[in-house]
Amino acid sequence: MSNVTHYLPVLKNPLLLRSPWSRLQKRFLGRPTSFPDYFQNPIFRKEDQAKLIENSELSKLAAVPVRPPAVYETSSVYHDPLVNKVINHVMEMGKKKLARELVEKAFENIKRKQIERYHLASSPEEKAKIILDPKTVLHRAIANSKPLLQLSPIKRGGITYQVPGPITEKRSLFLAIKWLLEATNEKDRTIHFPEQFARELLDAASNTGKVVKRKQDLHRQCEANRAYAHYRWQ
Amino acid sequence: MISRSWRNLCRRYSQTVTFRTTESSPSQHNEKQIGLFYSVNHDLCKQLFAYGGLPKSFAKQTKTFTETAIMVRQPALDLIDCIKASDFNKPVIRYVMYGEKGSGKSLTLAHLLHYAYEEGYLIVHVPWVSEFLRRVPRHKEMSNSQTREGFVDLPLDVAAWLLHFKTQNQVLLKNTELKISRDYVWSKRESTVAGSPLSQLVEHGINRVKYACDVLDALVYEIKQLSNSKQCKTFVAIDGFNGFFCPLTRLHTPTKKKVKPEEVTLTGSFLELAKNDWSNGVVVVTADQLALPDDHQDSYLPRYLLYKKGFELLDPFVPIEVGRYTDKEFLSCASYYRDRLWLRGPPEIETELKFTSACNPYKFMEQCAPL
Amino acid sequence: MSIFIKYYKSGGLNVAFSNKIWRYNSTSADMAINKGEEEEEFRVLDILKKRQRQQRRVNRRADVQPDRADRMPTDQNWGNVWPGPKTFHPSSVPLPLRQGYVPKGQAPPGKKANAELMKIPNFLHLTPPVIKAQCEAIKQFCTEWPKLLNSEEAIENHYPVEIITSDYCHASPSIRNPLARIVTLRVKLSTLKLDQHARDKFIRLVGERYDPETDLVTITADRCPIRKQNQDYVNYLLTACYHESWNFEEWEREKMEEDMEYYNWDKNPSKRSLVNWYLKTQNQSKELSDEEYSNYDVSQIPNGEEYKVAVSSYMNDGESEGTVEKYGEAVRKLLGLPQKKVVS
Amino acid sequence: MNTSALRLVQLQNPLGNLLSPALASQIHTSSPLCRVVSGKYRITKKRDRPLTYEMANPPHYIAHRKSWNSWNTSNLKDGLRRSETAVEDEFIRRFMTGTWHGLVCSEVIIKRQFNHIRVAAIIRRAVSPTKMYFLLGYTEELLANWLQCPVTLEIQTVDSFQDVVFKYI
């Protein structure tokens, strides 16, 4: 029951409007849904709805047909689009419940570790430095492991060059999460996923660890291959 | 920065509600302290619950929270009132605690154990019956009983339990007034003479694991005798008592025959304690859905969980329901969690958690974990 | 046939040929030939031998009667015209009926030569005046409805046994539908006026035919070929069960506690433990036999009666939060403990 | 041809159910359904094919634009004597068309109530009334004898086939 209750329909806000929502929130559907194209995505966050009411755009959208929100799109207080994204990345074979449990376990581990560290810290300054919120840890970890450049293979004169180039925001987010999960899965069989994931997140949040090193390696190689950069347009 | 200001916010928020009481002696608790947390002394905790007694998830929390704090709740106070009002010359009164999964039966029992310790009871505490009967590690020590035909001994488990008994009652057992009334001959060389202290009997059980189960039988008999003769008063607490009445245990004899609970010697000994043919004592047991196989967990009410056998054994007993949190308790618990940094975020989160956890203490704790 | 006649008329040359064929032809053609021979007319040479289109003789019968429907008087007795069930016939029904699906704007086919009207079952023989007349005719065989049986309750009171049979819409060479032989008997158990033992035995005898929720006993029989036989059999079964349930057999004394259909506190270990407890509080210790236990007077134990009621309701009404609470209250009173405080 | 092929196969392999799947799938022992063409008529070039109302409405219009030709309780759920009724009806139809040779202008309608069989049809007045009366009695008598239940013939007469024609296609 405890797992289902997060997404109780009562929490879903019935006020469904068109969403000017961030990239994370958008639903990319691989196949056509049962709703026609002109159906808008729902606006389910109270903040957004309040903003709409403030800008008095509500009446404009009142007559527009809207899709129903998905189960994970709730107006719950602890809703976080990035966490949802990570859960979806962790998920295998559509076992979302399991994926969510794993990520939540990882959060719990982070929290326990940080609280322990907090109690060990002697001075108030040190205590203030410790991030206790696991979601903040996750946000920082992902921000720290996002690459700024990427290498793309381009064939010129029969030789494939690794050419550095800019990276889109979406791809860098994808790579960050992917690397975090890959780093987590390089573990002994005896260590459980949540434990290792917590460790990796904490490492990345403090700008150390495997993932950050991988990012820096990429940056370094981009720097080294700077000479090939013109192949991108020639 | 954000987290710091949040924390300050949380601090400020938590200060508005009192959630702690400085009264750390359970015998002094009264209605005013309902819903408040009191912390148990660390050493005492170690003495009482070193070998079990606190649920695992709660023990983990105590480590994270760096303290053992138990909420004063209505059922425990009710039980303490009843104990205070009861006549100790009459046969012992049996109390059965029941409630949904995760509603805090074991913690209420822990609270009562603390009370019993303070009041100087001799504590006979079984942390979790299914630990004996239903939890089967790879090498479970089992042997056929030497003294009783067709019965099964669990010598290691019983020895571990005797150690638990010894640590819980280490103060009382030093008292040499507690003497045994009968001669016990274990083998040609070993025997315990009448008049030797009770602690010697327990020691014997721990050192000579082979005789642990027989020692347990003897111990139960002696405790009854001592209580009847007013030498000590006894507090029997058995968690997951209905585990003794399930149709089958998970144990197998070497011939692959499934063992029934009544074929295990320690069952007989503990059931003997739950009878009301002795006086000057208190028996508190819990009926828990988790102690039974999955197919018999439809209701949390005592008659269903105890089966007919258990009901007839305990009848007349006093049923005591351990329910979900009331509003006040929930609020105080949430403030406590905020104080212990276990819960953070805007205050609306509590209304949501209250709804999603349905005020179930265990679920509330679980749902706070990833926040 | 007519072709050959035509040839002759136009040509008349090939008489021999014609004669040959006449043998197969009717006498009327023969007459025409004779006639032609008498009045010889001017013969036109028809080179192309253009065929003369001649109307084929329509075999219209002169004796077809005019439609009967047109000649019916308006004040006739319809019941006599159409006395029983019959397939629709347009000449008997003086109504401008039409039946059939046609594209928009057209009129549906009329009643004559309309197979659709013949297919559908009609109720022309059951017009209201006819029904009324028939009811009048049957009335002499009916008796009056008893005045006292004016309500469902009264009927149930005087005729508790209900016999249920079914008739079926049926068509086959045999007029008996095999399902129509099944007879069901229903009776409320409370109307049989059984005592406790007989009631218990009756329920055990009828087994699952008794529904405790509605208190109905339902006996169904289909083993005989005729309904009447089945009905007799059902009545026999009810009678036999009724009388058998009043008999007390010797082996019924062996009934165990587990066989009881309700919780009898006096015979249960609960009472024994209560009595034991009471004796112990009085510092008496004596062994009682089973008889003494069950006959022990509970009223001398303070609050014992209340405890008895609580336990019985706990067991008989099923376990619920309410019954557990009541039980708890009773036990606390019995043991002299303070009642549970209501949490504010 | 179907049956002979089947017999051939059965001779080779006395157990019918042991046919090889490829062979078994090619042998029909029942008549084909022909859902697309059965009960439907093609339009002629000259638009002169006469259709009665019954023929003008294809089978899927039964119970919508036209009703059934056999009325009995065997077709209902849990009806008795399904196959017998169907075979008897077919027999009655064939007997009627054969006995009233070239005279039956519509389908033969068979209605059964209890053990009573009503046979209705539209008949051309091409024979003398005397013959018709004879045929009527003859049909009723023989059918009643064979089917062992009262049979009533309820006929309507028309002048010619033209009277029952609904349209030309």
Q: What is the pLDDT of residues D73-90, one digit of tens each?
A: 988 888 888 899 999 999
Angle, alpha carbons C145-C151-C153 (nearest 5°): 125
What does pLDDT average to over chain C? 81
Q: Are residues B121 and B137 in the same domain?
A: yes
Number of domains in chain D: 2
Angle, alpha carbons A90-A93-A97 (nearest 5°): 60
What's the CA gap between B270 and B243, in Å, rounded?
Answer: 12
Residue B82 inside a domain? The answer is no
Q: Are residues B40 and B104 in the same domain?
A: no
Neighbours of A214 (CB within 10 A): 17
**Cβ of D166 under 8 Å from any chain C Cβ?**
yes
Please give the pLDDT value at position A29. 55
Chain B residues whose CB is inside 8 A of the C280 CB are 90-91, 276-277
Taking the CA of residue D25 and the nearest CA in chain C, the distance in Å comes to 38
Please give the pLDDT value at position A179. 95
pLDDT, one tens digit per residue, over C61-74 is 556 778 888 888 98
Residue B83 inside a domain? The answer is no
Q: What is the rounded average pLDDT of the residues D133-145?
A: 95
Inter-chain residue contact B277 with C337, CB threshold 8 Å: no
CB contacts under 8 A, D 24-53 vs C, are 52-53
**Is the pLDDT at B361 greater than 50, yes or no?**
yes
**Is the pLDDT at B185 greater than 50, yes or no?**
yes
Q: What is the rounded average pLDDT of the residues A197-211?
A: 93
What's the CA gap between A22 and C192, in Å, rounded?
Answer: 77
**Is the pLDDT at C13 greater than 60, yes or no?**
no
Q: Are residues B192 and B297 in the same domain?
A: yes
Please give the pLDDT value at position B265. 87
The domain in which residue C4 lies consists of 1-53
Residue B3 inside a domain? The answer is yes
Q: Are residues B154 and B264 in the same domain?
A: yes
Taking the CA of residue B170 and the nearest CA in chain C, the distance in Å comes to 31
Residue B85 inside a domain? The answer is no
Taking the CA of residue C250 and the nearest CA in chain B, the distance in Å comes to 30
Mutate to test the interface with B, among A47, A77, A84 (most CBs of B within 10 A): A77
Nearest CA in chain D to C59: D126
Beta strands A159-166 and B37-40 are unpaired
Identity of the residue in B356, B358, B370 whose CB atom sits nearest the CB atom of A104: B370
Taking the CA of residue B66 and the nearest CA in chain A, the distance in Å comes to 8
Q: Please report, for residues A160, A210, A221, C13, D40, the alpha-carbon distance to residue A217 in angstroms, rounded to integers and kept in the order given.
A: 20, 10, 6, 124, 78
**Is the pLDDT at D99 greater than 60, yes or no?**
yes
What lies within 8 Å, CB to CB, of B206 at 6+ separation is B159, B162, B163, B166, B212
The domain in which residue D129 lies consists of 35-168
Beta strands D116-124 and D151-158 are parallel
Q: Are residues C158 and C135 in the same domain?
A: no
**Cβ of A4 under 8 Å from any chain B Cβ?**
no
Q: Are residues B369 and B250 in the same domain?
A: no
Residue C58 inside a domain? The answer is no
Residue C80 inside a domain? The answer is no
Q: Are residues D91 and D146 in the same domain?
A: yes
What's the CA gap between A178 and A86, in Å, rounded?
Answer: 9
The CATH code of the domain that includes D108 is 3.30.300.20
Q: Are residues D49 and D125 in the same domain?
A: yes
Q: Are residues D60 and D139 in the same domain?
A: yes
Choice between B139 and B108, residue whose per-residue pLDDT is larger: B108
Please give the pLDDT value at position C139. 93
pLDDT, one tens digit per residue, over C258-269 is 667 678 888 788
Inter-chain residue contact C336 with B86, CB threshold 8 Å: yes
- Helix %, strand %, coil % for chain C, to 5? 50, 5, 45
Token readout for D140 is: 């009723």
Taking the CA of residue B330 and the nearest CA in chain C, the distance in Å comes to 14
DSSP state of D44: P
Residue B182 inside a domain? The answer is yes
Nearest CA in chain C to D159: C60
Residue A58's Cα: distance from chain center in Å?
30
Q: Are residues D24 and D40 in the same domain?
A: no
Q: Are residues B46 and B184 in the same domain?
A: no
Domain final residue, candidates B321, B337, B354: B321
Identify the band that residue C56 occupies on the pLDDT scale cut at 50, 70 and 90: low
Identity of the residue in C273, C280, C315 whose CB atom sits nearest the CB atom of B316: C273
Q: Are residues B110 and B193 in the same domain?
A: yes
Please give the pLDDT value at position C7. 43
Q: Are residues B178 and B108 in the same domain?
A: yes
pLDDT, one tens digit per residue, over C184-203 is 999 999 888 888 888 888 98
Residue B86 inside a domain? The answer is no
Residue C64 inside a domain? The answer is no
CB contacts under 8 A, C 304-333 vs B, are 307, 311, 314-315, 319-321, 324-325, 327-328, 331-332
The domain in which residue B5 lies consists of 1-73+325-371
Chain B residues whose CB is inside 8 A of the A11 CB are 352, 355
Q: Are residues C249 and C303 in the same domain?
A: no
Q: Are residues B66 and B126 in the same domain?
A: no
Mutate to test the interface with C, among B318, B320, B329, B332 (most CBs of C within 10 A): B318
Please give the pLDDT value at position C182. 94
Token readout for B132 is: 């004996």
Nearest-Å Rg of the Cα atoms of chain C is 47
What's the CA gap between B40 and A142, in Å, rounded?
Answer: 41
Inter-chain residue contact C335 with B301, CB threshold 8 Å: no
Residue B49 inside a domain? The answer is yes
CB contacts under 8 A, C 131-170 vs D, are 168-170
Q: Are residues D11 and D61 in the same domain?
A: no
Inter-chain residue contact B319 with C327, CB threshold 8 Å: yes
Global pTM reads 0.66
What lies within 8 Å, CB to CB, of D64 at 6+ separation is C101
Q: Are residues B16 and B133 in the same domain?
A: no
Inter-chain residue contact D114 with C171, CB threshold 8 Å: yes
What's the CA gap between B227 and B219, in Å, rounded?
Answer: 12
Q: Are residues D48 and D117 in the same domain?
A: yes
Q: What is the rounded average pLDDT of the residues B162-188?
A: 85
Beta strands B281-287 and B234-238 are parallel
Please give the pLDDT value at position C185. 94
Please give the pLDDT value at position D110. 95
Q: Are residues B29 and B51 in the same domain?
A: yes
Count of alpha carbons within 13 Å of B222, Cβ hemisphere only? 27
Lowest mean pLDDT segment, chosen from A105-109, B58-62, D7-11:
D7-11
Percent of chain A past pLDDT 70, that is, above it, reads: 86
Number of domains in chain C: 4
The structural domains of chain A, ordered by start, are 1-79 (no CATH), 82-234 (1.10.455.10)
Q: How many CB pairs under 8 A join A and B?
A: 61
Q: Are residues C242 and C160 in the same domain?
A: yes
Residue C226 inside a domain? The answer is yes
Inter-chain residue contact C119 with D118, CB threshold 8 Å: no
Residue C76 inside a domain? The answer is no
Please give the pLDDT value at position C282. 82
Residues of B with CB under 8 A from a CB of C: 31, 34, 74, 78, 81-82, 85-87, 90-91, 93, 98, 276-277, 299, 301-304, 312, 315-321, 326
Inter-chain residue contact A78 with B357, CB threshold 8 Å: no
What's the CA gap between C204 and C241, in Å, rounded?
Answer: 10
Q: Are residues D25 and D87 in the same domain?
A: no
Residue C184 inside a domain? The answer is yes
Neighbours of B224 (CB within 10 A): 20
**Is the pLDDT at C227 greater than 70, yes or no?**
yes
Residue C72 inside a domain? The answer is no
Residue B80 inside a domain? The answer is no
Q: Are residues B158 and B197 in the same domain?
A: yes
Residue C59 inside a domain? The answer is no
A touches B, CB cut-off 8 Å, minimum 3 pairs: yes
Q: Please report, for residues A99, B125, B148, B217, B227, the alpha-carbon distance to residue B221 in angstroms, rounded to integers and kept in the order given.
A: 53, 16, 16, 6, 10
Identity of the residue in C60, C115, C170 whose CB atom sits nearest the CB atom of D73: C170
**Cβ of C86 under 8 Å from any chain D Cβ?**
yes
Identity of the residue in B98, B318, B326 whose CB atom sits nearest the CB atom of C337: B318
- Chain D neighbours (≥3 Cβ pairs under 8 A) are C
Nearest CA in chain A to B357: A2
Q: Are residues C272 and C223 in the same domain?
A: no
pLDDT, one tens digit per residue, over C296-340 is 888 888 888 888 888 888 888 888 888 999 998 888 888 888 888
**Is the pLDDT at B143 greater than 70, yes or no?**
yes
Taking the CA of residue A194 and the nearest CA in chain B, the distance in Å comes to 12
**Cβ of D105 under 8 Å from any chain C Cβ?**
yes
Taking the CA of residue D107 and the nearest CA in chain C, the distance in Å comes to 8
Q: What is the rounded average pLDDT of the residues B314-325?
A: 89
End-to-end alpha-carbon separation of chain B, Å?
18
Inter-chain residue contact B299 with C319, CB threshold 8 Å: yes
Residue A144's identity, in one-letter code, is N
DSSP state of D112: E
Q: Are residues D115 and D40 in the same domain?
A: yes
